[in-house]
Amino acid sequence: MSDDGLGQIIGDLYPYGKTTKAYRRVPAEPVERAAILAEIADMAHTEDARGDKGTVSGSLYCGDHDHYHFLGEVFDLYSHANVLQRDMYPSATKFEGEIIAMTSDLLHGTGVGVVTSGGSESLITALYSYREQAREARGVTRPNVVMPVTAHVALDKGAHWMGIEMRHAPLTDGYLADVAAMAGLIDDQTIALVGSAANYAHGLIDPIEEIAALATSHGIGMHVDGCLGGWLLPWAERLGYDVPLWDFRVPGVTSISADTHKYGYALKGSSVLLYRDKDLRKRQYFAFPDWPGGLYLSPGFAGSRSGGIIASTWAALLATGESGYLATADGILRTAATVRDGIRAGVPELEVIGDPLFLVAFKAAGDLDIYLVNDALIAQGWRLNPLQLPPALHFCFTRPNTAPGVADAFLETLRGAVAYATQHKGEPAKSGAVYGFGGTPQGNAMVKSVMASVLDAMHEVAPDAPAS
């Protein structure tokens, strides 16, 4: 990547660099609250406008600002509460227990689980539980986990932190986990298998029953990453869609993660990690009786937590209700089907990956540069998610995308984007500046360097911002 390309990526992180003051130290005198609120409101409304149009993939799962306002009111009542201190805030036990119970009921579980800050924490916590279980019960010292290459990368992050080897199995021609390949990667140090329902890249549900049976045959657990689909697939099944079994009805599934802050329409960040039994859940607990500060116990990685998230998540589930979830799921699934079938029938240059329900991924059917297609979509205000290995795009459908005319408008724009990519064949794509450079030691090193630079920039004040 050129310095200009990297500079453009980093520059895009600072749209307010020249229009607002930058605070590099605490102001000497308090800033008026009205001025603070006005500045925040201006940024929030500007940024929300894009998602409210329905042209964004994923990210905004609800899109109902009345719902957000209601949850904000609930959050306000508990924003200051530290739910670590249950003697002061016993309502947290009601909220947390009932969130777990409702999620477990939806997924045919046993009511055993925890609430976490999001999908990454749920996945990493599950890894920790399996590692501890295998160490204590089987004496495993070199733990590994077997999962398809499409399993969420947060698992790789957690494994990196915890010294767990991740063994990535290839996919079948249908872009699903190759169970036979997974079987070949298992040994006496394997602590768990993983499957997705559905995976982030392509929106497809792995053959969970087969993976769970494989896990059972080896006497190990199986985690289902339902972070994305966990609060949507049950409603799809009730609406009559063909959804393969993937939850606790499958023998051998021992844990599931499901994000309430996605299709549960709670505020970020909120997720639920469910276990089949309490023995596995207790592996994630931390208790330290010999600290001078007193007896310390914690259910997971977090210490202090705001009661606002737990209370507002509980409120979101109640305020939406079964009828609300079913109606919303119906709109999302219909919209996704319109786009999926529209690509298949009307855009021969593209190929839909697999047979998705709510997240539609597509790649070039020939030598078309899919990132040039993405360039043209971006120019028309659409924000899709670029993929790699293979190069592709995906559109994760949420409530804002169900607005009348959005699906048809997207298909029309997509056909124009394909024409643009055809006309500009051979030109470098702006949105493909990083994708495609990986896959070799040199390429991966370059990509990691670029990514590190971007992460650095995310934690710094705009270099040319006016000082306060």
Phi, psi of 459 (to 5 degrees): -115, 25
**Do residues 134 and 187 lie in contact, with contact meaning Cβ atoms separated by under 8 Å?**
no
Amino acid at the residue 258: A
pLDDT at 279 over 70: yes
Q: Return the pLDDT at 430.
A: 87
**351 - beta bridge partners?**
363
Per residue in 347-378, pLDDT (tens digit) is 999 999 999 999 999 999 999 999 999 999 99
Amino acid 1: pLDDT? 46
pLDDT at 301: 87
Reported as a single tens digit per residue, the pLDDT across 67-78 is 999 999 999 999
Q: Taking 80 as the threshold, does the pLDDT of residue 17 lie above it?
A: no
Half-sphere exposure of 108 toward its Cβ, with a 13 Å CA cutoff?
11
Query: What six digits make up the tokens of 391?
Result: 């190069």
Q: How far is CA 464 from CA 6, 13, 18, 19, 379, in A?
A: 17, 12, 7, 10, 26
pLDDT at 449 over 70: no
What's the pLDDT score for residue 162?
97
User: Is 407:339 a contact under the CB 8 Å cutoff?
Assistant: yes
pTM, two decimals, is: 0.92
What pLDDT was estimated at residue 447?
Answer: 60
The pLDDT tens digits of the residues spanning 219-277 come to 999 999 999 999 999 999 999 999 999 999 999 999 999 999 999 999 999 999 999 99
Extents of the domains making up the chain: 3-38+51-64+321-446, 75-318
Cα separation, 446 vs 460, in Å, equals: 22
As a whole number, mean pLDDT of residues 76-94 equals 91
pLDDT digits (tens, 9 = 90+) for 97-138: 999 999 999 999 999 999 999 999 999 999 999 999 999 999
Contact in structure between 194 and 129 (CB atoms under 8 Å): no
Three-state DSSP at 343 gives helix
Encoded tokens for 4:
């200009």
Q: How does the average pLDDT of the chain come out, rounded?
A: 92
Q: Please tell me whether residue 110 adopts helix, strand or coil conformation.
A: coil
CATH topology of domain 3-38+51-64+321-446: Aspartate Aminotransferase, domain 1 (3.90.1150)
CATH class of 75-318: alpha beta
